[in-house]
Structures are given as C-alpha cells and as structure tokens.
C-alpha cells in the first residue's frame, strides 16, 4: 500500500503533496481556497498541505454518513467485529511505517510514536469484543407472563474532533468503537498533523469499512462549528484544549447533541519520602519531559512532601541528562514542540515564572540542536519555589516544563491537588499502603496512579478525567463509550395463547 495514498501530488514537478478528504468511500480533492502547511517541527520542511474543507464538503460527508447508516446499522454484529479484527491486524503490520510519518509531522521520537499507535490499537482490540460489550439485559416473568429486556442500538451519525498531540491514539479511541456499535462517523483530525491519521483511515478502508461509514474532513474553527451545529450529527467527541473543548461542548449541546469533551489538565505527582527514590525520579522525569511535555496526562507538577524536599537536586541532575534532538534521531529523549507558536507560548510562560519569583533550576531556553537549528526545541526546564498563584502553575504549559511545590504533610498535598480546577490525572509515590489508600479515597481527580506517573487506564476500563478536565459524563473508551454511542431501548412484552384466560379491562398501571 502506498504510504501517501491519501495524498495527491500536484502534476507540477516539485509541488507539495495535498491531503485529500474521504467522503462516501472516495478520496476527494477539496475545492477549498484555504490550505495550511503541514510542517516538520524539527526542520520546518513543508511535508504537505491540508485543506480547510468547505461547508458543502462537510455537508457531503455528513450526508454520506447518514445514508450509510441506513444499512450499516443492520449489519450483523459479527461482520462488524471481523472488520475490527482485520483493522487491528493491519495497524500492527504497518505501525512502524506510520510511526515514521507521525514522528516527521508531530515531532515525537519514533519510540513514542509507536507508543501513540499502540495505545490506540488497544482500543481497536477492545472493539473486537463488541459482541459482548453491546449486549442488553433480560429479565423473565417480571409480572404474569411478562418479560422485560433492553436493546443497545446505534444512534446515527457521530463525529470526532482530535488533537495534534496524539494523531494516532485519539482517532483510534473514537471511530472504531463508534462504527463497531453500528454508527457512522465523520472524523476531523488535527490540521497540524493529519497524515498519520489518514494512514490509519486508509487501513480502516482496507479492512472493509463500507463506503460512507467513515468519512474525513479537515479544517479549523469553521469546520468544527459546522460539525457541532449540523442537524444530522447525533454525537460529538472531542479531545483538546480547555478553550476549544468548552466551546465544542456548549455549541454542540445547544444543538441537541450528545457531547464528550476531554480538555486541559494540570497533573500533580505527590512524592512521599518513603517512595523508592530511583524509580520515582525516573518516573517523574519521563512523565514530565516525554513527548516534550505535550501530553494531556503529562506530569507537570511535582509536590515534594516532608523529607522528599531533599530530592530536588537529584531530580535536576536526572533531567539534565536528557538528550534534546529531532524525533527521528536515535537516542532522542525530548523532541521539538509542534509549532513555532507553541514554542513561543512555552518560552513566554517560562519567562513569567522567572518574573514572578520562581527559582529556575534548569533552563531549557536557547537550546540549539546541530543539524536542526530551525527546530522548535525547548529543553527540559525545572522550577522550584513555585506557588499556586504563579502562571506556570495555573496554566497548562504543554511543554517540557516541570514545576516543583513543597508541603509538609500528605494532607496538605491532597488539599493542594483538590484546590486545582483540573481533575484529569494525579499520582502518589509511596511504599505505604495506608497512605495510598488515603490518597485514592480523598483525592478529587478522575484518574489516580499509585507509583504510576501517567495513569491512563487500559481500554476495558474507561478514561475518567473529571472536573475542569472533562465535560460530559461518559469517557471516550471502555464500557462508558458503548453507552455514549448507543441508545438504550427497553421492551416489555407479553404473549397470549389463543386459549388464554381473559383478565378483563385493567385501568391501573399495574401489570398482573
């Protein structure tokens, strides 16, 4: 299969490839006048151009999905499962090739790109169990000769809006479960790095997803708003920033749609002095600086408790050992940020930390990588002496910046975490079972790790961020997402034999 099948090369020699749309099973050249460059963040090379789809193209994608739903909803569940089985096999087969594309357009190391794909693949594997996941319930003889049972039926056309930081994992969180449940889907990948997403979509088509069941449109706010307000879309799933996520949730909700919106975070790691020192420090540095800090579940705040305050020099020394380089290069620990704009924002927040009085223990500004001098690099940056009023604490930095706060007791640490408006993830590092139990019971955060720095659950559980990190009551995978993508229908039935005794007229609501 051609690695750039979803791209069309202009006939003019040397022209930049252009990403297509997928509408009704056909790869479509957009008729838009607005295109955006897809830029390698390590080199600034323009890899391709992505269209900002027209309103008519979005309408066509939704119309195709609506038409396909009329037959796809009745496709036997075994047939849907077999497509998911084929898709997971194809993703496994092509994961290394896709990882190269993902690294080039997003900046991740090859190993991290492969991890991005694998965590999405786990959800595809879970979708292969849709036969049991979508089962209803049955209760016999709830009254005389009366049975009650529930059906979990697909809801129609669903849509997903995905972020730049996980161009493989997040799309695979969305469309496989939606279509496995019998829905059709319109996907809007990030306009910053859609090529690896499109390779996964190609594999879905190759796996046998019928025409119109999966459609892809590209674009910015206009396309997002078009999805949120379209009368034929029944549900919208979003992962991204708090600002956009709140907008999506409100706009789509106002137009009568189911919405799940996974948004920003400020994830704390609380460290007690009895924790395994070496393992804890390794975990903190990996979770804080991996993927250049561009993970919604990245550890961005370390809370050192009591005698653990003495660990700061060791944390700094370990962070200093990380290698900053292009994601494509062997031995890279920290790659570039996604864009020059993202780099400028991170640098601005680092400067605010200095200005507001935090101690800059490790300064990642001014990093220059030989051979990649134009890259969007920021090195590992570490602050101590941080207070909860500083911008580097209150804002999600989304870069390789780790801030350290200090408290005297576990109770103070719990209060600090709970006072933060975000509730995506948190972790406690300790060897005390009593402390761990207290922490997991009292902490007001959706996902908790005990000696785990990034507590993203496996797909047979559900992603359960909370408070300011999530709008909507159901998560994007696991059991909860089956509820999100299906409508429960309850049937109460009684069958009579020809010689049944006539009970007469019953004017009450009681079943007899």
Separation of alpha carbons 370 and 350, rounded Å: 23
Q: Residues 347-384: pLDDT tens digits?
A: 999 999 999 999 999 999 999 999 999 999 999 999 99
Separation of alpha carbons 288 and 455, rounded Å: 13
Instruction: Tell me if 290 sits within 8 A of 404, measured CB to CB.
Output: no
Over residues 209-236, mean pLDDT: 98
Share of the chain above pLDDT 90, in %: 93
Residue 107 has pLDDT above 50, yes or no: yes
Query: How wide is the angle at C-alpha 499 spanned by C-alphas 495 and 502, nearest 5°?
Result: 75
Q: Which of 49, 57, 54, 52 lies closest to 22 in space, CA to CA?
A: 57
Q: Residues 33-57: pLDDT tens digits?
A: 999 999 999 999 999 999 999 999 9
DSSP 6: T
CA 459 from chain centre, in angstroms, equals: 12
Burial 379-412 (b: 16+ CB within 10 A, else e): bbbbbbbbeeebbbbeebbbbbbbbbbbbeebeb
Q: How many residues are listed for the chain in this entry?
A: 512
Separation of alpha carbons 253 and 489, rounded Å: 22
Query: How wide is the angle at C-alpha 173 spanned by C-alphas 51 and 17, nearest 5°?
Result: 25
Tokens 């993830």 belong to residue: 425
Give residues with Cβ within 8 angstroms of 154, minimum separation 6.
Answer: 69, 73, 181, 182, 183, 485, 486, 487
Give residues with Cβ within 8 angstroms of 251, minimum separation 6.
Answer: 225, 228, 229
Q: Which of 52, 61, 66, 51 lies closest to 25 in space, CA to CA?
A: 61
Q: Which of 228, 218, 248 lies closest to 57 in space, CA to CA?
A: 218
Separation of alpha carbons 258 and 473, rounded Å: 10
Query: How wide is the angle at C-alpha 76 spanned by C-alphas 495 and 148, nearest 5°?
Result: 25
Radius of gyration of the chain (CA): 25
Separation of alpha carbons 36 and 340, rounded Å: 15
The SS3 of residue 366 is coil
Residue 416 has pLDDT above 70, yes or no: yes
Query: How wide is the angle at C-alpha 464 spanned by C-alphas 405 and 107, nearest 5°?
Result: 70
Set 128, 158, 181, 296: catalytic member: 296
The region that residue 366 occupies, defined by phi over 0 for left and psi between -120 and 50 for alpha, beta otherwise, is left
Tokens 């030989």 belong to residue: 370
Compute the mean pLDDT over every residue in the chain, rounded to the nearest whole number: 94
Please confirm, yes or no, whether 128 is among the known catalytic residues: no
Output the pTM of the full model.
0.93
Q: Residues 167-221: pLDDT tens digits?
A: 999 999 999 999 999 999 999 999 999 999 999 999 999 999 999 999 999 999 9
Helical (H) or strand (E) element with 259: strand 258-262
Q: Which of 174, 175, 16, 3 lies closest to 102 in space, CA to CA?
A: 3
Q: Which pLDDT band holds residue 405 (cuts at 50, 70, 90)?
A: very high
């Amino acid at each position: 299969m051609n690695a750039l099948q979803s791209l069309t090369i202009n006939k003019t020699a040397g022209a930049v490839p252009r990403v297509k749309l997928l509408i009704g099973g056909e790869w479509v050249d957009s008729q838009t006048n607005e295109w955006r460059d897809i830029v390698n963040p390590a080199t600034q090379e323009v890899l391709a151009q992505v269209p900002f789809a027209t309103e008519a193209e979005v309408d066509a994608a939704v119309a195709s999905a609506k038409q396909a739903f009329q037959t796809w909803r009745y496709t036997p569940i075994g047939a849907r499962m077999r497509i998911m089985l084929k898709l997971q096999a194809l993703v496994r087969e092509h994961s290394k090739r896709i990882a190269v594309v993902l690294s080039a357009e997003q900046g991740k190391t090859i190993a991290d790109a492969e991890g991005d794909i694998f965590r999405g693949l786990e959800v595809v594997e879970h979708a292969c169990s849709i036969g049991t996941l979508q089962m209803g319930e049955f209760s016999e003889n709830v009254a005389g000769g009366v049975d009650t049972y529930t059906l979990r039926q697909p809801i129609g056309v669903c849509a997903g809006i995905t972020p730049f930081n996980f161009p493989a994992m997040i799309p695979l969180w969305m469309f496989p479960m939606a279509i496995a449940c019998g829905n059709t889907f319109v996907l809007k990948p990030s306009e910053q790095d859609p090529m690896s997403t499109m390779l996964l979509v190609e594999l879905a088509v190759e796996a046998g997803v019928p025409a119109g069941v999966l459609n892809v449109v590209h674009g910015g706010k206009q396309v997002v708003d078009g999805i949120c307000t379209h009368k034929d879309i029944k549900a919208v799933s979003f992962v991204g920033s708090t600002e956009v996520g709140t907008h999506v949730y409100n706009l789509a909700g106002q137009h009568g749609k189911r919405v799940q919106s996974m948004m920003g975070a400020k994830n704390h790691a609380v460290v007690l002095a009895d924790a395994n020192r070496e393992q804890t420090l390794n975990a903190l540095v990996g979770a804080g600086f991996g993927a250049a800090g561009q993970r919604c579940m990245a550890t961005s705040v370390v809370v050192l408790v009591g005698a653990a305050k003495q660990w700061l020099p060791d944390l700094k020394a370990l962070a200093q050992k990380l290698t900053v380089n292009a994601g494509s290069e062997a031995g890279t620990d920290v790659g570039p940020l996604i864009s020059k704009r993202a780099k400028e924002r991170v640098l601005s927040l680092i400067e605010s930390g200095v200005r507001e009085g935090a101690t800059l223990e490790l300064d990642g500004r001014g990093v220059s990588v030989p051979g990649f001098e134009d890259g969007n690099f920021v090195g590992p940056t570490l602050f101590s002496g941080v207070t909860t009023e500083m911008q580097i604490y209150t804002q999600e930095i989304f870069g390789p910046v780790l801030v350290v706060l200090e408290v005297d007791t576990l109770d103070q640490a719990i209060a600090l975490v709970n006072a933060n408006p975000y509730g995506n993830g948190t972790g406690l590092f300790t060897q005390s079972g009593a402390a761990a139990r207290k922490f997991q019971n009292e902490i007001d955060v959706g996902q908790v790790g005990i000696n785990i720095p990034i507590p993203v659950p496996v797909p047979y559980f559900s992603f359960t961020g909370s408070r300011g990190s999530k709008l909507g009551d159901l998560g994007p995978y696991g059991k909860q997402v089956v509820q999100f993508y299906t409508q429960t229908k309850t049937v109460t039935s009684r069958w009579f034999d020809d010689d049944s005794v006539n009970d007469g007229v019953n004017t009450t609501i009681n079943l007899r």
